[in-house]
Structure 1
Amino acid sequence: MLKIMSNKWIQLFFESKIPFCIHKLYKGDALIFKFYTNCKPLIIVFYGTVYIMKVFTNGESIFLAILTGNSLIDFSVNSFDSDYIYYKVVALENTYFIKFCWLDYITHFKYLSTLVKLLDLFRYTLQQYENSSYILSHKSTRYRVIQLLLFLCREFGILNNNYIIIPFEISQKTISYITGSNPITVNKVIRYLINRLLVKYIVKKRILICYSSFFSYSQDKTIT
C-alpha cells in the first residue's frame, strides 16, 4: 500500500491541491458509471488492468477497451444517450484509480507541466483504445479470441522459454464478454487451440499460456 500511495500521480494531486479520491477494485470487481451533469469525472488508472464495457438498458453490451496503468477514463462526452447506457469498468487484477472532476483540475492546477502530463495520458489512452479495437475487427469468434490473446501477450505477457504467460486470471466468461461471443462458442475455440497444442488453459487458476506455435499459427492465418 505504501508503494501505491507514493505514486507520482497522487503526489501531483497533493502538490496541486486538486480534490480527488482513490478507489481500489479487487480483481473481478466492477465500477458502474453513468453520465454526470454537474461534476464531469475523470479517472486515472494508475495501477492495474481493467476492461470497459458499454452496457445498454436492454442488456446488450459492447466491449470498448482494455486499459492499464497511466490510462485515462472519461465518460463525460456521451451525454446524448445517457438515459440508455452506462459504463462498466471491470478489474482483471487489483486496480487503483484516482477520481477527480475536470473543473477542479482546471481551477487548481498551478503548473503547465501538470496539464502536459494529462495530455500524455490522453494520447496513451487513445493508443490503447485503437489497439483494443482490433479485437472486434474480425467477424469470426475464433479470430476474435486469437486476436485477444495476441493483444494480452503483447501488452502483458511474461516470456518464459518457449511460451508466454498471461499474468492474471481471465475466465472464458470474460473472454466472451470482451469478444462479444457466446460462452459456449468461446469454450469450443479454447478447446480447439488446446487440442492443437497452441495454448494451455489452467482451469482452476484461469491462467492462459500461449506457446510459440500459437504465434506461428496466427501469422499463417494473417491475424495481426
Structure 2
Amino acid sequence: MKWINFFVNQNIPHYIYKLNKNDIIIINRINSYTEKSIIILYGSLYIINTFTNQEELPLTILNKNNIFDINNLNTNYRSYYQLIALEKTYIISFQFNHIKNIKEMDKYHLINIINSYQKTINKYETMNKILSHKYIKNRLIQLILFLFLEFGNIHGKQIYIPFKISQKNLAIITGTNKTTINKVMKYISKTLFINYAIKNTIHINDIYKININ
C-alpha cells in the first residue's frame, strides 16, 4: 500500500493493473504520452526486448518493489518491450517525470525510490551474468538458483518455487528452445537433485543433497 498511498497523496496520475499468469504488457517509445514506468506491487515479470526482425533479447526477471523505466534503457524505436507475468501480478504505471517534478518529497519515499532502483539494477546485472555463460546448461542452473533465491519457499529440507514456469518460458529467458531445456532439466534432476515436476513446478526435496561444481 505504500506506493499507492504515495501516488494518491502526491496527486500523481497513475493506473493499477492486475495481470494473470502469462499476460503481456507491451511498452515502446512510439507514444511519448504513454506511461512508460511501472512499479511491481506484487508478483513477478520477466522482461524481453523484441526487435522488428522478431529477434528476442531476454533482459531480466523483476518482482515486488522493482521499477521498470523504459527511459533508463538503451533502446530505440526499432524494438519494444514485453513484460510477461510469471504469476498473478499487480503493477502501478505512471510517468516518471511526474515524480521528478515533485519539489518536496519526504525522506521516506525518496529512500524507497532509490532502493527500488538499486534492487532493479542488481537484477539486470544478475541476469547479464546468467546469460553470459556460454553453455545453456550453466545458464539454466544459474537461472534456477536465482529463482530459488528470489522466490523460493522453504519447508524443512525442501525448497520450491511457488509459481509454475513452463519450459517455453525457461527457453525464452535463457535464449534456447524447449527441446534443449527438456534435456538439460533431465540432467539437472539426476545430478543436482533439482526436480522439475509435470505441473511445471521446480523444487528440491533435500537442500543438503545439492552439489554445484
Whether TM exceeds 0.5 here: the answer is: yes
Say which of 85, 95, 111 aligns to 2:79: 85
Within a 5 Å distance, the mapping from 1:112-127 to structure 2 comes to 112-113=106-107, 114-127=109-122
Give the equivalent residue in structure 2 for 1:4. none
Q: Which runs of 5+ in 1 are unaligned?
A: 1-6
Give the equivalent residue in structure 1 for 2:134. 139
Say which of 199, 203, 206 aligns to 1:209: 203
Number of positions where the alignment pairs a residue of Structure 1 with one of Structure 2: 210
Counterpart Cα distance in 2 of 1:126 and 1:169: 25
Say which of 72, 82, 91 aligns to 2:67: 72
Within a 5 Å distance, the mapping from 1:26-37 to structure 2 comes to 26-36=20-30
Give the equivalent residue in structure 1 for 2:13. 19
Change (3 A) 1:185 1:213: farther
1:120 is displaced (CA, Å) by 1.9
1:197 is displaced (CA, Å) by 6.4
Matched, 1:130 2:137: no
1:213 is displaced (CA, Å) by 6.0
Q: Would the aligned equivalents of 2:25 and 2:83 in 1 still touch at CA under 8 Å?
A: yes
Change (3 A) 1:214 1:109: farther
Most deviating of 16-25 and 38-47: 38-47
1:195 is displaced (CA, Å) by 3.4
Counterpart Cα distance in 2 of 1:154 and 1:130: 15
Q: Which runs of 5+ in 2 are unaligned?
A: none
1:201 is displaced (CA, Å) by 1.8
Counterpart Cα distance in 2 of 1:78 and 1:124: 15
1:36 is displaced (CA, Å) by 4.6
Q: Determine what percentage of the aligned residue pairs are the same residue.
A: 36
**Cα deviations across residues 110-147 of structure 1 (Å, max 9, x unaligned)?**
42433332222111111121222222121111111111
1:41 is displaced (CA, Å) by 2.4
Change (3 A) 1:24 1:62: same
Q: Would the aligned equivalents of 1:35 and 1:78 in 2 still touch at CA under 8 Å?
A: no
Give the equivalent residue in structure 2 for 1:155. 150
Most deviating of 18-27 and 188-197: 188-197
Q: Which amino acid aligns with 1:199?
A: I
Secondary structure (helix, strand or coil) at the match of 2:210 reads helix
Change (3 A) 1:80 1:200: closer
TM-score normalized with structure 1 length: 0.86
1:199 is displaced (CA, Å) by 2.1
1:79 is displaced (CA, Å) by 7.1
**Cα deviations across residues 164-207 of structure 1 (Å, max 9, x unaligned)?**
1011011111110110012111110011222346122221x211
Q: Which amino acid aligns with 1:60?
A: E
Q: Would the aligned equivalents of 1:24 and 1:96 in 2 still touch at CA under 8 Å?
A: yes
**Cα deviations across residues 41-95 of structure 1 (Å, max 9, x unaligned)?**
211111111110111111111111111100000112457621x111001111111
Secondary structure (helix, strand or coil) at the match of 2:90 reads strand
Say which of 47, 53, 67 aligns to 2:48: 53
